[in-house]
Amino acid sequence: MEYTGSSYEGDFHNGRMEGKGTYNFPTGTRYDGEMKDGTFHGKGTLFFPNGSKYEGEWENGIANKGKYTFADGLEYDDDEWLYCDGYDRRFYTEICNGLKPAGRSQLTNRVPPREIPEGCYDCGDGFYNPKTRVVVDYNHKFLRNADDDEHDWIVKTCRKGWDEIVGYQPKMDA
């Protein structure tokens, strides 16, 4: 674990993680639950740095079933997912608390929305700089380099950190 930056506190059997314990990843993600032969096995919960969590049952390190809960309390349901579908594009906080008055748009599920650095995009797990094609987390630590598909998706889809004039622009006489 010293090579990966991970740590573990809990039960051991024959020198391997086995029983109940807490496994900490270097990314800040934490697993609390049952282990067997050094892998997640049985009931456990993954807690993510953004406040979300995955409660599940694992078998030999593979999650067989479980439930993902977003940081704001929204639970993902694969069968009856009614949030942000083709008919209802409201944020979860708007569903819970109602829509804002006209002229006071809610740009993200986070209130107030996160400040995006100039020239960058908020891609959901951090900020993307299209000039360097690097994604950093919200603490500005490196996450990954974006490939062409991710770059195109971010530029087309994500909120940007600058204002842009849109709509009707009259022609100016020279």
Per-residue pLDDT tens over the stretch 88-120: 666 667 777 777 666 666 666 677 778 899 999
Q: Is 72 left (phi over 0), alpha (psi -120 to 50) or beta?
A: alpha
* β-sheet bridge partners, residue 92: none
Which residue ranges does the chain devote to CATH 2.20.110.10? Answer: 7-69
Number of Cβ within 10 Å of residue 168's Cβ equals: 5
Q: What is the pTM of this model?
A: 0.57
Evaluate if residue 29 carries a pLDDT over 80.
Answer: yes
Q: Is pLDDT at 169 greater than 70 in this prediction? A: no
Distance from the first to the final alpha carbon of the chain = 68
Partners of residue 42 on adjacent β-strands: 58
Q: Which CATH architecture has domain 7-69?
A: Single Sheet (2.20)
